Chains A and B, each alone.
Chain A
Amino acid sequence: MNALSPGAVDCDIHPGVQGIKTLLPYMDDHWRDHMLRRAADDFDLASYPPRSPLVCREDWRPPQGKAGNSLELMQRQALDAFGLRYAICNPLYGGAVAVSDAMGSAICRAMNDWIAAEWLARDHRLRASIVVPAQAPDLAVEEIERLAPDRRFVQVLLPAAAELLYGKRYYWPIWEAAVRHNLPVGLHAGLAYRYAPTSNGWPSHHLHDYVAASQVFEDQLLSLVTEGTFGRFPTLRIVLIESGVTWLPGFLWRHLKTWRGVRPEVPWVDRPPPEIIREQVRLTMQPFDAPPDPEVVARVVEQIGSDEMLLFATDYPHWQFEGMAAVPAGIPPAVLRKAMQDNPLATYPRLQEAL
């Protein structure tokens, strides 16, 4: 068991959307009518099959319905149990990846209004990410503009991968809007599944898919660095959510080594990539992906080379750990304290505001 400092900020918590019916009250007449007439439902992300063991820890499963569908359970099992000061809601549902721009946008709007009305308004510890249609940057910007004035929204949320690599200029309007409102952008594990999740096609099993997710995050970091996004938007903060952590040091080294040899190809990358990443990227700590050996964990933390990158998260109600062991043993206490409080407050400046 880990001694949690009271007042930790949980940077990844998942309210569950109990089907499209939950969102109908937050849709306009057209979309409500459309969903009902077509009996359109099943907008769950293929990355998170509702009954897969990963999606909900057994002792956190609600008596009925989808994981994370009850505020009361979330309060008891997460907010109270871990003594959280704040928790950032990252609802995972199909709006961000729908094939239709307009439908995706309608679902995202409804999700954001639902979160505000039924979660944020009912517990002062909750904050949320603005979910946006990743497939349509202009509509994503509209949604950011609509919700940015509500200071309880502290981040923009995108799936780990969408139509194109995120470094492409196509996405500049999203980063521009996020930076304008001083909102970090979270990339959460999970894909649109219109493109194969590996560079060599479709895997056959959930096991492969979930383990390979860290490669998707590596690709996005490479894209954001090499295309010059971080340089163009120096105040942009990207948060990798549910990406795992221990792959990072090897990736940073490989990235640095190769950059030194071919730098003239990307001359706008005018300082070592690990420096850029340490400054502009953050990672949530569940899953961490380390063996249960405190020495190994401590060594990885040292190799990351910054005590500002890690953000505490339970990933509630996803099943990443047992009991209260939300952080792996071996994280140096000073690093852990920063990950639980200082780093979230610095990454999400809106958490410092009195509402």
Chain B
Amino acid sequence: MGKHVVAAVSELPPGSRRLATVRGRPIAVFNLDGEFFALVNRCPHQGAGLCEGEVTGLVTADGPGRYRLERPGEIIRCPWHGWEFDIRTGQSWCDPARIRTRQYPVEVTPGSTVVKGPYVAETLSVMVEEDYVVVEV
């Protein structure tokens, strides 16, 4: 496991996502209202680029025909077959106990810490006055 800098916080505003390659793995990082989450960009179903799908809310209901839209922006739908995954946990909605996409820990770290190491920033130049999104892979 190592800590990898994937973006400056300023490059990943709330509601956005960014695909990064860390140690050869495609990882998507999401900013949900200032909280960061990282999922492997591979649907456990058939391997589609999961995080290239639509970001939506969670549609629920209080009974037949009584729709509710909750948690806007917190669900990703696989672009191939529409399976829904919770961006916060990587769990699928259809079978959360068995079908999930791998999640990685994310933290926000000031540039002043990053420059001291042992962080790895493969494609970024780090500035001490910026905050960085760091994924542990």
* Residue ranges of A at the interface with B (Cβ–Cβ < 8 Å): 169, 227-229, 231-232, 259-264, 267-268, 270, 272
Contact = CB atoms under 8 A, between A and B. Distances in A.
B61 A268 contact: yes
A267 B59 contact: yes
B123 interface: no
B94 A272 contact: yes
Interface in B72-128: 81-84, 93-95
A227 B93 contact: no
Nearest to B92: A260
A267 B82 contact: no
Contacts of A268: 61, 63-66
A272 B98 CA distance: 13
Contacts of B67: 267
Contacts of A264: 56, 59, 84
A220 B84 CA distance: 27
B60 interface: yes
B84 A263 contact: yes
A227 B61 CA distance: 12
B61 A260 contact: no
B64 A260 contact: no
Interface of B: 56, 59-61, 63-68, 81-84, 93-95
Contacts of A263: 59, 82, 84, 93-94
A259 B94 contact: yes
Contacts of A232: 63-64
B83 A261 contact: yes
Q: Which 5 A-B pairs have the closest CB atoms?
A: A228-B64, A264-B59, A261-B82, A268-B61, A267-B61
Nearest to A261: B82
B84 A169 contact: no
Q: Is the interface of B mostly helix, strand, loop or mixed?
A: loop
B70 to A, nearest CB: 10
Q: Is the interface of A mostly helix, strand, loop or mixed?
A: helix
Contacts of B84: 263-264
B82 A228 contact: no
A260 B81 contact: yes
B96 to A, nearest CB: 11
Contacts of B65: 228, 268
A89 to B, nearest CB: 33
A264 B60 CA distance: 7
Nearest to A227: B64
Contacts of B63: 228, 231-232, 268
Interface centre among A227, A261, A262, by most B CB within 10 Å?
A: A261
Contacts of B66: 268
Contacts of B60: 267, 270
28 contacts: A169-B64, A227-B64, A228-B61, A228-B63, A228-B65, A229-B64, A231-B63, A259-B94, A260-B81, A260-B83, A260-B94, A260-B95, A261-B81, A261-B83, A262-B82, A263-B59, A263-B84, A263-B93, A263-B94, A264-B59, A264-B84, A267-B59, A267-B61, A267-B68, A268-B63, A268-B64, A270-B60, A272-B95
A88 to B, nearest CB: 30
A272 B94 CA distance: 7
Interface centre among A169, A262, A263, by most B CB within 10 Å?
A: A263
Nearest to A226: B64
Given A263-B94, A267-B68, 5 more contacts: A228-B61, A232-B64, A259-B94, A260-B95, A272-B95
B94 A231 contact: no
B60 to A, nearest CB: 5
Nearest to B78: A261
Contacts of B68: 267
A133 B82 CA distance: 41
A263 B65 CA distance: 13
A260 B95 CA distance: 9
